[in-house]
Amino acid sequence: MPAAVFNLCVSRQRDSYLESVFNTLPQGVMVVDRDGSAKAINRGALKIHGLNTSDGLDDQLDKCGGLLEWFDADGRALSPGHSPITRALKGEAVKRCLLHGRNRRNGHSWRAIYAATPIFDVNGNVQAAVVKVQDVSDPNRAEGMVARLGSMIHFAAVPLIGLTRDGIVESWNAAAESLFGYSATEIIGQHVAILGSCEDRHDKVDTIRCVREGGLVRNLETVRIAKDGRQIPVLLTVAPIKDEVGAVVGMSASVIDITRSKNTESELKKTDHRKDSLLETLAYVLCNPGSICRAVHIVFSRIFSASA
C-alpha cells in the first residue's frame, strides 16, 4: 500500500474515533465560528436545543432571526449580544450561566447551564468559541433528588436546619425537634434568632453574613436556648446552599449537643481541685511533722468541702 494511501486511512480512522468521542460526551458541546455559525455540534447539544442534522446548522444560531433565542432565569428575553455564544465571540470567558432557551423553528424549550470559551488566533483575534451545555430541565430527576434528600435530612440523627439567606427557618428535622423542643409547625417561618440569647445577637449576624457571602462556619462552640428555656451547649456548623450557577440561595446548619462532654469537663475540673487540695495539705504535713492531727483534720475538711 502506498504511504500516501496508508496515511489517509490512518487519518480517517483517527477522525472517526475523535468524532465518536465528541458525540458520546455526557454534555452538549458546540463549536461556533466568529459569524455565529455552528461548525461542530455533538449529539448532546443537538438534543438539548431541539436540533437535528437537517436543520442547516450553518445558519447563524445567535443572530436576530436565527435558530435560538434566550431568556434569563426570571424569563426575561436576552438580546442576541448577551447570549453566552456572542459573549464568547467578543472574547469573554463565560464560566457558568443559567439560561432558558427556545428553538424558534420548532418551539422546543430547555433550561441549561452554559460555559463558553473563546478561541484566539496567533494575533489575539477571536476565531471561534467552544460552548459547553449542561441540561438541567428534567423535572422528574430534580423532584426525585429532592425527595431523597428530604428523607435523608428528616431521619438524620444530627439536628439539621435549613435556612433562607436571611436566616428564616425553612426545614427542621426530627432530631432538631427532639433537642430544642419546637415542632416543625411551630418554628418554620421563624427567624433562627429564636434559638439564641440577646447576648450573642452580634455573633449570629456575623455568622449569617459570612455564610451568605459563601463562607463556611465550622464547629463554632456556642449556647442555644430550647423552648423550655434550657441553655444547651452546642457545636454549630453552618454552610451555604448554592444554586446551579453557584449563587448562595440559603444556608444549612448542623448542631451537635455537647452537654455531656461539658458535664464531664466540669467533673474533671472538680477532681483536679480535690487533688490539688490534697497535695497542698500533704506538703504542709511534710514541712510540719508536729502538726499531723491538725493536718488530718484539714485534709478531711478540704475533701468534704470540695465535694459538697
Q: What 8-state DSSP symbol labels residue 54?
A: T
Q: What 8-state DSSP symbol labels residue 182?
A: -
Residue 209 grid cell: 453574613
Query: Alpha-carbon dihedral of residues 271, 274, 278, 280, nearest 10 degrees?
Result: 110
19 has a pLDDT exceeding 60: yes
Name the pLDDT band for 138 (thresholds 50, 70, 90): low
Name the pLDDT band for 41 (thresholds 50, 70, 90): confident
Q: Rounded to whole angstroms, how far apart are CA atoms 88 and 130?
A: 8
Residue predicted with more confidence, 151 or 123: 123
User: What is the model's pLDDT at position 65?
Assistant: 44
Q: Rounded to whole angstroms, how far apart are CA atoms 204 and 180?
A: 17
Q: Rounded to whole angstroms, how far apart are CA atoms 180 and 252?
A: 17
Which pLDDT tens digit goes with each residue over 255-286?
A: 999 888 776 665 666 666 665 665 665 565 55
Residue predicted with more confidence, 264 or 300: 264
User: What is the model's pLDDT at position 188?
Assistant: 92
Query: Alpha-carbon dihedral of residues 46, 47, 48, 54, nearest 10 degrees?
Result: 40
User: What whole-number percentage of the chain has pLDDT above 90?
Assistant: 20
User: What is the model's pLDDT at position 9?
Assistant: 46
206 has a pLDDT exceeding 70: yes
Which pLDDT tens digit goes with each residue over 149-180?
A: 777 788 888 899 999 888 899 999 999 999 99
What predicted TM-score, i.e. pTM, was given to this entire model? 0.51
For cell 490512518, name the residue: 10
Q: Rounded to whole angstroms, how far apart are CA atoms 88 and 45?
A: 17
User: What is the model's pLDDT at position 32?
Assistant: 87
Looking at the chain, list the stretches that DSSP marks H as alpha helix, in order from N- to C-terminal side: 3-23, 43-48, 84-89, 139-154, 174-180, 184-187, 201-212, 259-287, 292-307
Name the pLDDT band for 8 (thresholds 50, 70, 90): very low
User: What is the model's pLDDT at position 22?
Assistant: 75
User: What whole-number percentage of the chain has pLDDT above 70?
Assistant: 69
